[in-house]
Amino acid sequence: MTEAALTTADAGSAGDDRKAEHLAKLARMAGQIADFFKAYPDAEAVPAVADHINQFWTGGMRDAFIDAYSARPEDLPPLLRRALPLIRPARGS
């Protein structure tokens, strides 16, 4: 990761833009998942959203998402905010 971070850092702000774009995409994907399950009562929807992300996102994607939004969960829609603590970090991280 550090190597990769170094190479993107070379690109300066273009790298930051790409990181931001990548995060925005993850947030959008998570939002779509929450949109599907929001028709269910919270007791079912919250674990279902987290479970979907845990089953289909790589550890790296989950970590990036958790890192970015743990500090500012208010940026997430309510259901996703409640599901955030149930999203599993990558194994070994």
Partner 1 sequence: MALIKEIDYGTPIRLSEKTVTLSIDGQSVTVPAGTSVMAAAMSLGTKIPKLCATDSLEPFGSCRLCLVEIEGRRGTPASCTTPAEDGMVVRTQSENLSGLRKGVMELYISDHPLDCLTCSANGDCELQDMAGAVGLREVRYGYEGENHVFAKTADGLANENWLAKDTSNPYFTYDPSKCIVCNRCVRACEEVQGTFALTIAGRGFDSRVAAGPTDFLGSECVSCGACVQACPTATLMENKVIEHGQPEHSKVTTCAYCGVGCSFKAEMQGDRVIRMVPYKDGKANEGHSCVKGRFAWGYANHRDRMTKPMIRARITDPWREVSWEEAISHAASEFKRIQARYGRESVGAITSSRCTNEEVFLVQKLVRAAFRNNNVDTCARVCHSPTGYGLKTTLGTSAGTQDFKSVAKADVILIIGANPTDGHPVFASRMKKRIREGARLIVADPRRIDMVKSPHIKADYHLPLRPGTNVALLNALGHVVVTEGLIDESYVRERCDLDAFEQWARFVAREENSPEASEQYTGVPAADVRAAARLYATGGNGAIYYGLGVTEHSQGSTTVMAMANLAMATGNIGRDGVGINPLRGQNNVQGSCDMGSFPHEFSGYRHVADDSTRQVFEMMWGVPLDPEQGLRITNMLDEAVDGTFKGLYVQGEDIAQSDPNTKHVTAGLAAMECVVIQDIFLNETAKYAHVFLPGASFLEKDGTFTNAERRINRVRQVMAPLSGKDEWQVTIELARALGYEMSYAHPGEIMDEIARLTPSFAGVSYDKLEKLGSVQWPCNEKAPTGTPLMHVDRFVRGKGQFMITEFIATDERTGPRFPLLLTTGRILSQYNVGAQTRRTENGAWHDEDVLEIHPFDAESRGIRDGDLVSLASRSGDIALRAEISERMQPGVVYTTFHHAKTGANVITTDYSDWATNCPEYKVTAVEVRRTNHYSQWQEKNFEEDVTLRRIAERLPDAAE
Q: How many CB atoms lie within 10 A of CB 37?
A: 21
Q: Which residue has the tokens 């399950």?
A: 37
The number of residues that bind partner 1 (CB under 8 A) is: 29
Token pair belonging to 47: 């674990």
Q: Residue 81 and residue 91: Cα distance in Å, rounded?
A: 22
In whole angstroms, the minimum distance from the beta carbon of 54 to partner 1 comes to 8
Q: How many CB atoms lie within 10 A of CB 47?
A: 15
The single residue among 8, 47, 77, 86 that binds partner 1, judged by CB under 8 A, is: 8
Residue closer to partner 1 (CB basis): 61 or 86: 61
Footprint of partner 1 (CB under 8 A) = 1, 3-4, 7-8, 11, 15, 18-19, 22, 25, 29, 32-33, 35-36, 38-40, 52, 55-61, 90-91
